[in-house]
Amino acid sequence: MAFKPANNIQDLQYFGEFGGVNPSISDSSTYTFLSAKTMFDTFEGNADGCYLYSRHSTPSNLYLGEALAAMEGTETANVTASGMGAITPVLMQLCGAGEHIVSSRTIYGGTYAFLKNFTPRFGIDTSFVDITKLELVEAAITPKTKVLYCESVSNPLLEVADIAGLAKLAKKHHLKLVVDNTFSPLSISPAELGADVVIHSLTKFINGSSDTVGGVICGTQEFINDLRNVNDGACMLLGSTMDSLRAASILKNLRTLHIRMQQHSKNGQFLAEKFEALGLKTVYPGLASHPSHDLFKSMMNKQYGFGGMLTIDVGSIEKANALMELMQEKNLGYLAVSLGFYKTLFSAPGSSTSSEIPEDEQKEMGLSDGLIRFSIGLDADIERTYQMMKACMEELHVI
Ligand code: PLP
């Protein structure tokens, strides 16, 4: 039977402490033991089901982790304080001094900065490659390489990674394939396609209400145990732990993700087609003109569509800024970074979320000045939204 991520979430059953339909929230940073021996065993990692200290794990965090693992089809998951709080410990756990990462060159600016500027201080080097060209990816692999890193759909250029192809390369060269699936939850299931570790920034679509940051690492029980190990686990020792109250609220939002993703995708597809028809340079994986349209189609869980992210290029940063300010004035969305909100969010990535990437490298990867990244909202009447956006574009002579 085909993998059904939303069913896996729906099928989880919870009974709270008093029979509540939501699990009770564990509002404690530390936990008692009936015997000193069990405490010792827990430190040794040998007391399954015992809680120790909330940086290690909490019942609320485990509930959310298990729901996200069910969504991604992995054995288990560990939730973290932010998306970066998921990405950084994974890479630090998998790589040490003298080792090497092959990464997509179009990734979230913070991840890029971490790999380019931060990990070299610990002797970890990264080669950035065009992830859509498997032969370039393979050519960059050296005997020191430990990790292939990519985003399923990249921020901000919406390049699509061939996850099954990358997984084959990873297997051949004994590497771990780590995939950030933040832009395409439910639509793409990287672990089903062979990824070893799947990461999300929960801050975005999964939580969906722009009220918190959060992250998750989905993987094998062995890897998640390693990350939580009190002696050398990067999650435990770097300490990017999610708060239990937040875990409980994100779990509740997760339950409507399938409905929200369908609406984000429906609206994204509608606007992308209209923008392209206006003659705007439009990038959206659901357009036949997208270079990886067929690849996305071959990987996707169809009912969730091609997602809510699209870009247009209006030619210059001045035009991009004027258009975004006007659209905000007309209440068509917010000039804000981030994504996955019920309102449309727009930003010019070159000067915001990708500003960590030097200008010459931005040019090389095709990140132009006039690029506007849209996270399309849940608008009930997307035709009206389109007409109003078109009027803004006409007023500013963008079209
Ligand atoms: N991964 C992607 C694709 C992102 O877009 C972002 C943030 O924009 C992150 C990771 C980082 O997530 P967070 O801001 O929750 O740390």
Averaged over successive runs of 10 residues, the pLDDT of the chain (399 residues) comes to 91 92 94 91 79 93 97 98 98 98 96 97 98 98 98 96 98 98 98 98 98 98 95 96 98 98 98 98 98 98 98 96 98 97 96 86 88 98 98 97
The closest-lying atom of ligand 1 relative to the alpha carbon of residue 214 is: 15
- Does residue 368's CB lie within 6 angstroms of at least one atom of ligand 1? no
Count of H-run helices and E-run strands, the chain? 15, 12
Domains in the chain (CATH in brackets) are: 8-254 (3.40.640.10), 258-395 (3.90.1150.10)
Alpha-carbon gap, residue 255 to 18, rounded angstroms? 21
Q: What is the DSSP letter of 53?
A: B
The amino acid sitting at 345 is L
Alpha-carbon gap, residue 250 to 85, rounded angstroms? 16
Query: pTM value?
Result: 0.98
The closest-lying atom of ligand 1 relative to the alpha carbon of residue 213 is: 15
What pLDDT does 350 receive? 86
Q: What are the distances in angstroms from CA 229 to CA 45, 221, 223? A: 7, 12, 10
Alpha-carbon gap, residue 123 to 335, rounded angstroms? 38
The closest-lying atom of ligand 1 relative to the alpha carbon of residue 154 is: 3
- Does residue 83's CB lie within 6 angstroms of at least one atom of ligand 1? yes
249 close to 25: Cβ distance less than 8 angstroms: no
- Does residue 201's CB lie within 6 angstroms of at least one atom of ligand 1? yes
What pLDDT does 1 receive? 62
Whether the ω angle into residue 59 lies within 30 degrees of 0, i.e. cis, is no
> Which token pair is 86?
């998921």
Distance 140 CA to ligand 1 centre (A): 25
Distance 86 CA to ligand 1 centre (A): 10
Place of tokens 């530390």: 30
What pLDDT does 92 receive? 98
- Does residue 84's CB lie within 6 angstroms of at least one atom of ligand 1? yes
- Does residue 347's CB lie within 6 angstroms of at least one atom of ligand 1? no
Supply the residue whose CA is at minimum distance from atom 5 of ligand 1.
Answer: 108
